[in-house]
Structure 1
């Protein structure tokens, strides 16, 4: 069990930020049905299957990376999503490289009949919100260039949540 930090230690840690090169490399999700999840992540979103471990696990990625998303049924075969009001993953955010690529994701979702739960312009990014077949929250988003991020008079970041015009986003899709 991890013990709470003393005020002295907590104060020292707060002045020493994490290395700026640190990135979140991948997420591993518990799913109820591996084939159903692969149909969503590969068939709808377009991730590539990199490796499969029989009927219990698979690893998918974009661009040939070893894996961005791991899917497994080790503790969840046939299971159900956690009930509302419990702790756990809120959503996985998948960053798209361009607005046109995010527009293509929106098109794929519409073609597959996958409903959105939300769509927001956050000033720093544009985002689509939905759930995967197991009820895991998914955010598909594209960042704006940092010089376009909204800031107040003191230069502090001022993220917002505004309506995202989906027709305008779809218009950015490359044929």
Structure 2
């Protein structure tokens, strides 16, 4: 029998090894918009959304001044941040682009709209919003029929700027 976690289980937080704590705080706080909740000197910091103790942990314990992890190695592919609506996703994308961060990609998956970027240490980040479940594409037998089509980035940015 396959084990199953409860349906309301959530990913609580991520903790990333970074090379420069100040640079990473600036990115996650000033660009993505998370709030700095605590720091441990120049070695670790914690950031959150909405007053939670932390969604993101950053540390330099084993990585201060190191280079990025090799692309062709096992490890985290990306972390995904779920925005509550299209407007807030568009606003976040606007801040990212204003900061000079390049897009790695953007896609409409049918169930969600997503943009892909990298943080200053090369960690992959997905910024996305889910569509209401009633709008998810499905096959004739009710199975999900996710897609990978181009996302209308200018329309998303316009909605975020409104």
Displacement after TM superposition at 1:139 (Å): 0.2
Deviation at 1:174, TM superposition (A): 4.9
Q: What are the equivalent positions in structure 2 for 1:1-175 lying under 5 Å apart? A: 12=1, 14=2, 16-175=3-162
How many residues are paired up? 162
Q: Distance in 2 between matches of 1:115 and 1:147?
A: 33
CA distance in 2, matches of 1:53, 1:151: 47
Using the alignment, how far apart are the partners of 2:161 and 2:48 within structure 1? Answer: 22
Offset, 1:171: 2.0
Q: 2:78 touches 2:126 (CA, 8 Å); kept in 1?
A: yes
CA distance in 2, matches of 1:172, 1:156: 31
Q: What SS does structure 2 have at the residue aligned with 1:55? A: coil
Structure 1 segments of 4+ aligned residues over 2 angstroms from their partners = none
Calculate the TM-score normalised by the size of structure 2. Answer: 0.97
Give the unaligned 5+ runs of structure 2. none
Measure how far apart 1:85 and its partner are. Answer: 1.3
Q: How large is the Cα RMSD of the aligned pairs?
A: 0.9
| CA deviation after TM superposition for structure 1 residue 96, in Å | 0.3
In 2, the alpha carbon distance for the partners of 1:19 and 1:164 equals 32
Q: How far off its partner does 1:83 sit? A: 1.1
TM-score, normalization by structure 1: 0.90
